[in-house]
Amino acid sequence: MEQFYIVTLVLTALILFAAFSSIIAFRFGAPLLLLFLCIGLLAGVDGLGINFSNGQAAYTIGSLALAVILFDSGYHTPLQAFKQAAAPAITLATLGVLLTAGLFGLMSSWLLGLSVLEGMLLGSIVASTDAAAVFFLLRIGGINIRDQVRSSLEVESGTNDPMAIFLTMALVEALRQGKDHTQLDFDMLRLFIEQMGMGLALGLVGGAVIVFIVKKIPIERGLLPIIVLALSMVVFSYTGAVGGSGFLAVYVAGIYAGNRKIPGTASITRFQEGMTWLAQIIMFLVLGLLATPSEFPKILLPAVVLGLFLVFVARPIAVWLCLIPFRFTQEEKSFVSWVGLRGAVSILLAIVPMLNDLPDGRIYFNTAFIVVMISLVLQGWTIKPVAKSLGLIIPPRIGAIDKVELDLPGAAHHELLSYRVVADCPVLKGERIPRWAMPSLVIRDGKSMRYQYAGRLKENDQVYLFIAPGYSRLLDRLFASKATVEKDDSEFFGTFVVSPHRPAGEVDAAYGPGLFTEAEKAKPLGEVMEARLGGRADYADRVRLGHIILIVRDIDEHGHIASVGVSMEQVAPQRPIPVFLSLTRLSEWIAGQIRRLRPS
C-alpha cells in the first residue's frame, strides 16, 4: 500500500514539475513539448532511477492521450479553415507521408544496414508531423501568418497520423510474416481504403451522435464536458475495434461537433483545454520514462544524420512535390517544409516493433527518439525566426481583446458575450455597436446598469451583448485595442488605400498602363484581384502588377475584399530562400561542392 502512495506521489510531482516548467518555456521560447520529454528522460532509469519498461502500458497511455489531443484539435478547427486548407493538407497527409517515409526509409536502410522493408518501417514511424507540437507552436507561439498556410499546417498535422499509423502497422505485419518489399500487394491498398473510409464515416456519425446527445438530452452542466470527452473516446475505440482508423475518426468527430452550435460550448472548451494539456504532459513524460539514454551512443551518429536528412532533404522534397498544384509562394513552401515537427506520435509508433518482438526492436525506438529530439530542438526553436526571415509574418488585424463567452441554457440561437472596454478600442472613439447586436448590461465600477442608461462607454466597463452565432469576430474589432505593428511591418500594407469597388481601369490609368487586360479594366478592382488570387482572397494576400503591389488590407464578413493597399515600391528580386529550404539552391550548392572537390 505504501508503494502505491509513493508511486502516486512521484507521478503527480512529475506532472506538477512539468506544468510549472511551462513558465520557463514561455519565458525563453523553448519548445514546451521538448521540455516535457526531457523531464521524463531525467526521471527515467538513467536519471533519477525510475525504471519504467512497460511498452504496452506506454503505448496504451500514449494512444489515449493522442486521441484526446486530436479531438480537441478538430474541435477548434473552424470549418472554413478546413475547407480552404483541405486539398493541400490532405495531399501532404497522404502522399507527403508516403514520400517522406520512402526517402527516409532508403537512407536509413543504407546507414543502419536494414533491409528495404525495415527501412520503410522506420521511415513510416517518423513520417508524420506532430499535432500537439504544431498546434502549440503556431497558436501559442505568437506566429501570425497567412490563414491558408496556418490552416494547411494544422489540418495536415491533425490528419497525417492515421496514414503513418497504417503504414507502420502494415509493415510490421509484413515483417512478422517474413515478406519482403517485392511481396507487398494490393491487399495493403485495400486495407488502407477500408481503414480511412471507416474512420471518416464513423467520425462523421460519431460527431453527429455527440451533437444530438448534447442538444436533446438534459445534462447537468458540470457533467457535460466529461460526457463529450467520454463520447469522443467511444468514437475512437469503437472505430478501432471494427477495423477503422480511430485517430481519423476522433479528429473528424471533433471537427463536426466543434462547428455545431451546442449548449455549454464555453465550459466544454475550457475543460478540453485543460485535458489536452494534461494529455500532452502525461504522454511526453511516459515516453521519456520509457527511453534509455545509455543506449543512444550506439546509434547516435547515424541517427543524427538521419534526423538532419529528414529535416533538410526528405521533408522539403515531399512538400515541394505535394504543393505543386496549389497556390503557395516559394517562401510559403519553405515554411511548410520547416514546420515538419516530429513528436510523440513517432515515439509512440516506435514502440510497435518492440511489442511485436521484431528483431532489433530497440533500434527503431532509439533512432526515432533521437530524430524527434533533433526536430524539436532544431525546428521547434526556430519556427518564428524562419517565418520572419522568409517575410511571412503579417501584422495583426486587431490588438488584444478581453472577451468571455458565456453559456446560455438550452439550444439557444444567440450567443452571450462579455467584453471589457480596453484603451484605444474603436468603441471609445465613437464607433457605434451594430444594430444586430443587443447590448443588455454594463458593469461600471462594480455597479450594474442597463445599456441604454449607461451613456457613453468608458474604459474598463464590462459590456454584455446578445448576438447571433457567427458574428463575434465583427464585434471583436470594436472592442479590441489598437494593433501594435512593428517598425519593419509599418509599410506592409502599402502607402495608399484604394477602394475595391473602383474599376480596375482607373488604377491602370493612374499607375499603368498595361497592368490589366481590356476585359479586366471594366471590372471592380476587388473582383479582379480575387480572380488573380484563384477565386478567393485572404487577409494580407499580395498581387504584383509591374512596378506596383496590390495588398488585401481587410476582408468583409462575406469573405470579399473590403480594402486594398497600394505599394509603390519597385518589385524587388524574390527574397533569397535559405539553402537548406530550397531544392533548387540545394542542388546548385551540392553541384558547386562537387566541382570544388574535383581535381583541376
pLDDT of 226 higher than 80: yes
List pLDDT tens digits, range 532-579: 877 777 777 778 887 788 888 877 766 788 888 887 754 444 455 554
pLDDT at 394: 77
pLDDT at 492: 67
List pLDDT tens digits, range 257-306: 998 878 778 788 888 888 888 888 888 888 888 888 999 999 999 999 99
C-alpha distances in Å from residue 528, one per residue of 122, 215, 523, 552: 48, 44, 7, 12
pLDDT at 572: 43
* Dihedral angle of Cα 568, 574, 578, 580, to the nearest 10 degrees: 150
List pLDDT tens digits, range 482-519: 665 555 555 667 777 888 888 888 888 887 788 888 88
Nearest alpha-carbon partner for 472 in 441, 434, 430, 432:
434
pLDDT of 596 higher than 60: no
Q: Give the position of cell 514546451.
A: 32
- Distance of alpha carbon 150 from alpha carbon 77, whole angstroms: 11
What is Dmax (Cα atoms) for the chain?
A: 89
List pLDDT tens digits, range 411-426: 456 778 888 888 878 8
Q: What is the DSSP string of 34-86?
A: HHHHHHHHHHSTTTT------HHHHHHHHHHHHHHHHHHHHHTS-HHHHHHHH
Neighbours of 49 (CB within 10 A): 8
pLDDT of 96 higher than 80: yes
Higher pLDDT, 132 or 162: 162
**Minimum mean pLDDT among 24-28, 122-126, 517-521: which range?**
24-28
pLDDT at 599: 47
Higher pLDDT, 233 or 28: 233
Q: How confident is the model at residue 151 (pLDDT cuts 50, 70, 90)?
A: confident
3-state SS, residue 553 = strand
386-402: average pLDDT: 75
pLDDT at 316: 94
pLDDT at 64: 93
- Distance of alpha carbon 503 from alpha carbon 397, whole angstroms: 26
pLDDT of 400 higher than 90: no
pLDDT at 539: 75
pLDDT at 48: 80
Higher pLDDT, 122 or 30: 122
pLDDT at 564: 87
* Complete domains list, the chain, with CATH: 2-48+56-389 (1.20.1530.20), 403-479 (3.30.70.1450), 489-567 (3.30.465.10)
pLDDT at 413: 64
List pLDDT tens digits, range 425-461: 888 877 788 777 888 888 988 888 888 888 888 888 8
pLDDT of 61 higher than 60: yes
pLDDT of 55 higher than 50: yes
Q: How confident is the model at residue 469 (pLDDT cuts 50, 70, 90)?
A: low
pLDDT of 4 higher than 90: no
3-state SS, residue 418 = strand
SS3 content of the chain, % helix, strand, coil (to 5): 60, 10, 30
pLDDT of 217 higher than 70: yes
Higher pLDDT, 10 or 240: 240
pLDDT at 91: 94
pLDDT at 594: 47
Instruction: Tell me phi and psi for residue 570, to 5 degrees.
Output: -65, 145
pLDDT at 551: 85
- Distance of alpha carbon 477 from alpha carbon 475, whole angstroms: 5
Length of the chain: 600
- Distance of alpha carbon 549 from alpha carbon 540, whole angstroms: 11
- Percent of the residues in the chain that have a pLDDT greater than 90, as a whole number: 24
- Distance of alpha carbon 33 from alpha carbon 281, whole angstroms: 8
pTM of the model: 0.78
Q: How confident is the model at residue 600 (pLDDT cuts 50, 70, 90)?
A: very low
pLDDT at 267: 83
Please tell me which of 105-119, 177-191, 463-477 the model is most confident about, judged by mean pLDDT. 105-119
- Distance of alpha carbon 86 from alpha carbon 155, whole angstroms: 7
Nearest alpha-carbon partner for 48 in 297, 288, 279, 283:
288
